[in-house]
Every structure is written in structure tokens, then in C-alpha cells.
């Protein structure tokens, strides 16, 4: 899930140099004690990435005012002939002079009069190759080894028989933007839901009217859930076969409080978290991913010498960290949205999650100094999302199936051999059966 600077997959996919190569038989994939046979008659499948899980491109207009001579003259280092350039992920952000340039262009701005979020003036952005998985495979195709995102998963799906553009599709989006509660404008996020709905209908039509399987990662699960809950159940029943949600932060993540308080680079060297913090705070989707009070309750999440904060204290938290401009959109747009968390009607859901990975649970700041890193108390989760959030949807509907894989992190779930076997096995089962039978919790050891 999440952060937009060196936190690849939202939200957002964390940059990793570990590549898990998974070879699945074209004839049979063995999962547990049973064998899943290749199903030639596949339901179309759409992949929905997490925050930071697809490429973004940008272009500057004459309205753009660079924050420095370096940004105006040297960044980006490479542009296309038509002026577009790779905004996410561009490795030059690792260089200190360019980090600020990147953060300025990546930032969003909330306009209280218009009640919506917008790009920095003079910065145009676009999401390349909607409908295709191409921008989900690697966040930078020139750096495949370190920016792989869904390549291993896509390879495994293709070995199962899926074909790009025929039965396999991708739904990349501008992950900086989120959604808002009913009655509030949300141009970018709402447009993505409209485009996703159209893609679902087109994929179904081109496959003889078969229902579509949605496979989401991280923040993508929240968008998929909102799509199902905002459309009539009759539409969902007609077009959706199943939702398979990987590492979905249904109730947000404690890690987001660290991002808002101190900035977050997940330990990647060279980048100052205080430089990227304003950009991360500006993200509408990061605000959406703060801990949901309906899920976290009054549990103590952050403490200082003066007070403690629970998920019910987010307004005070935003004010005390010096981000008062986030209070209005949080109170009016985000809080009413997350308080209505509910499982979809009629549509079966499988949550595949990791556990047993140290995950931030309590942050402790000395002297209330949020510019310094906190002492962290860890609990269970996938390293990014807490267990209470990963299981939040099942707590609302016990018929939801959960496959819990020990030792798999938030992002490695897309590459780990055991995790891929479980994902492909579940998709095979969905394709092989007319209906889904709930199995409750399934724990997969290593």
C-alpha cells in the first residue's frame, strides 16, 4: 500500500531486490493436499494495483513555477519528445537535489471552495495504458530488478491460461487521489470508478458475458469495495464473479500515522523523510488510509509526553503535527466515508493476507517532537497493515473467506512462491465452480 516516495505499493509496493521466480505447471497446480487443474474456460480477470503500484507520467505547462533553479533546468533528466516524462517511479528522486523537485510535482492541493483535490498548478499527469497490465509489471521498466511489482503474478496467471488483452486486464490509476463521502465532488477518483466499471462491462462482453474476477492489491481493494457498494447489487451480480483482495487495508493502517507525523521512506537511504513529508501529507489516498475508528476503536496508537491518540482523535492528531489543512477534508470527506465500511452484498470475497511480520502498532514521540523518528512498538500484521485491519471485512461478514499466509509481507505477497500458489489456486477454484463456498479462516504455514 501506500507512500509515494520510495514506498512503492500504496496505498501504496515497497522497492525490493528480492525476486521470487515461480514456475507453475500448465497442467496442474498443487495447493495443500488437493490439485487444481488448468481451467481452459476462464472468467476474465482484472488486476487493480495498490498505491504506488503503477506508473505515472507528467508534463509541465507554462503555468508551472519551479521551486528552484535545479528543478527548472535539470529535472527531469529524461523527457519524451512531446514533453511527457516518468513521474513515478523515477530513480533520480534518490538524488537529494531532485527529491524536492519530485515532491513538489507529486503533491496534491485541496481547494476548500471547490471541495476537491487538484495537481500542482502547471503539472499535468496521466496514467499510461489503462486496461493493460503493462504499467503494473514494473514501476520503471529500465530497473526491472528493483521495481518489479506484479510481473510474477501476471506470469503465473499467464501460465494458468490467461491472455493479456483477451482475458487478462489491468486497471492502473492515479493513486494519489482517493474517494470521498457521498455529496462531495471527487473528480479523479470517481472517474476511475467509472472507467473501471466500463472496463468490467467490456471484459465481460468480449468473453461471452462471463462475470469478471477482480484481483486487487492493498489500496486497490478499497476502490474495488467502493465500486461494488456504490452500484446496484443487480449490476454486481451480473458482472462480478468474485473479489480476491490481497493485503487489503480495510480499516487503514497504523503506518500512515508515522507517514503523516514524520514522513516515511521505509529505511531507503539518501532520502530525507522531512523533505517528502509534505507531499505524503498532501495525498488524498493517504488521508483515506489513516486508521478507521470503526476498526481500531479507542486503542492507543500514538503517544507523546503530553497525551495519547486513538483513531477517534485524528482531528487533534492532524492539528498537533502541524497539518491543520488536512482537518477539513478529513472531517467532511474521509470520516463519513470510512465509517460506512461494509462488506459487499451478493458478491463473494476472498481475502489473502500475510501475517507474522512485525508491524507498527504504537508510536511513541519524546517531547512531542514529530520531526524525530518515534520509538515503535510492533504487533502482528503484514509489516504495513495491522491484523485488525486486514481482518476488518470478515469481522463484518463471517462468510468471507480468509487465507492467512505466515511470514508474507504486504508486498512480497505478489512474489512469494507460497503466496502465488495460494493466489493462483484460489483463482483456479473460482473458475472451476459455479458458486463460492465460504471456508472461514485458512492458515498457510511455511
Residue 93: what pLDDT? 80
Residue 439: what pLDDT? 56
Q: How far is CA 270 from the centre of its chain?
A: 24
Residue 122: what pLDDT? 96
Residue 94: what pLDDT? 79
Residue 385: what pLDDT? 98
Residue 406's φ and ψ, nearest 5 degrees, are -65, 135
CA distances from 336 to 181, 292, 300, 323, 341 (A): 6, 10, 22, 20, 9
* Burial (CB count <10 Å: 0-12, 13-18, 19+), residue 183: exposed
Residue 160: what pLDDT? 97
Helix axes 96-106, 273-282, angle to 10 degrees: 10
Residue 25: what pLDDT? 27
Question: Where do we find the cell 449490476?
Answer: 235
Residue 219 contacts residue 289 (beta carbons within 8 Å): yes
Residue 438: what pLDDT? 52
Query: Tens digits of per-residue pLDDT, 275-321?
Result: 999 999 999 999 999 999 999 999 999 999 999 999 999 999 999 99
The hierarchical CATH code for the domain 28-52+149-444 is 3.40.50.1820
The edge-to-edge listing of strands for the beta sheet with 375-379 is 308-309, 302-303, 359-364, 375-379
Residue 272: what pLDDT? 87
pLDDT < 50 positions in the chain: 1-39, 435-436
Domain borders along the chain are 28-52+149-444
Could you give the CA distance from residue 406 to residue 99 in angstroms, rounded to a whole number? 36
Residue 434: what pLDDT? 58
Question: Where do we find the cell 469495495?
Answer: 225
392-413 burial, b at 16+ Cβ within 10 Å, e below that, comes to: bbbeeeeebbbbbbebbbbbbb
CA-nearest of 330, 175, 321, 337 to 260 is 321
Report residue 425 as a C-alpha cell: 489456486
Q: What is the dihedral of CA 340, 346, 352, 353, to 10 degrees?
A: 20
Please list the active-site residues.
218, 382, 410
Amino acid at each position: 500500500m501506500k507512500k509515494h516516495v520510495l514506498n512503492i505499493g500504496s496505498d501504496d509496493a515497497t522497492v525490493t531486490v528480492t525476486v521470487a521466480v515461480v514456475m507453475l505447471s500448465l497442467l496442474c497446480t498443487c495447493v495443500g493436499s488437493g490439485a487444481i487443474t488448468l481451467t481452459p474456460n476462464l472468467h476474465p480477470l482484472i488486476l487493480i494495483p495498490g498505491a504506488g503500484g503503477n506508473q505515472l507520467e507528467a508534463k509541465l505547462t507554462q503555468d508551472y513555477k519551479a521551486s528552484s533553479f535545479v528543478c527548472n533546468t535539470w529535472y527531469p533528466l529524461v523527457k519524451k519528445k512531446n514533453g511527457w516524462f516518468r513521474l513515478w517511479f523515477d530513480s533520480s528522486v534518490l538524488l537529494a537535489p531532485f527529491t524536492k523537485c519530485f515532491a513538489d510535482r507529486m503533491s496534491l492541493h485541496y481547494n476548500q471552495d471547490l471541495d476537491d483535490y487538484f495537481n500542482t498548478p502547471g503539472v499535468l499527469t496521466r496514467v499510461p495504458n489503462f486496461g493493460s497490465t503493462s504499467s503494473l509489471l514494473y514501476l520503471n521498466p529500465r530497473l526491472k530488478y528493483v521495481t518489479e511489482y506484479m510481473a510474477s503474478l501476471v506470469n503465473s496467471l499467464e501460465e494458468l491460461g490467461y491472455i493479456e488483452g483477451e482475458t487478462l486486464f489491468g486497471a492502473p490509476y492515479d493513486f494519489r487521489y482517493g474517494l470521498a463521502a457521498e455529496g462531495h465532488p471527487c473528480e479523479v477518483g470517481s472517474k476511475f470508478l467509472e472507467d473501471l466499471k466500463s472496463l468490467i462491462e467490456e471484459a465481460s462482453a468480449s468473453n461471452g458475458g462471463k462475470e469478471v474476477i477482480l484481483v486487487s492489491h492493498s489500496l486497490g481493494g478499497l476502490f474495488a469495495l467502493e465500486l461494488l457498494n456504490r452500484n446496484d447489487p443487480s449490476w454486481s451480480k451480473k458482472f462480478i464473479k468474485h473479489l480476491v483482495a490481497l493485503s487489503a487495508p480495510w480499516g487503514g493502517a497504523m503506518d500512515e500515522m508515522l507517514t503523516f507525523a514524520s514522513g516515511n521512506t521505509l529505511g531507503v537511504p539518501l532520502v530525507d523523510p522531512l523533505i517528502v513529508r509534505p507531499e505524503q501529507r498532501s495525498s488524498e489516498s493517504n488521508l483515506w488510509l489513516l486508521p478507521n475508528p470503526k476498526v481500531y476503536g479507542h486503542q492507543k496508537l500514538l503517544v507523546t509526553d503530553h497525551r495519547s491518540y486513538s483513531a477517534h482523535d485524528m482531528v487533534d492528531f492532524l492539528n498537533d503535527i502541524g497539518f491543520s489543512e488536512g482537518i477539513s477534508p478529513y472531517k467532511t470527506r474521509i470520516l463519513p466515508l470510512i465509517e460506512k465500511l461494509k462488506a459487499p452484498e451478493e458478491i463473494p470475497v476472498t481475502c489473502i493476507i500475510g501475517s507474522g511480520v512485525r508491524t507498527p502498532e504504537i508510536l511513541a514521540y519524546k517531547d512531542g517532537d514529530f520531526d524525530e523518528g518515534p520509538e515503535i512498538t510492533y504487533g502482528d500484521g503484514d509489516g504495513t497493515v495491522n491484523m485488525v485491519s486486514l481482518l476488518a471485512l470478515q469481522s463484518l461478514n463471517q462468510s468471507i473467506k480468509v487465507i492467512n499466509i505466515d511470514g508474507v509481507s504486504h508486498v512480497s505477497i505478489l512474489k512469494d512462491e507460497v503466496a502465488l500458489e495460494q493466489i493462483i489456486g484460489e483463482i483456479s477454484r473460482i473458475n472451476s465452480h459455479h458458486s463460492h463456498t465460504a471456508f472461514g479462516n485458512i492458515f498457510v504455514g511455511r
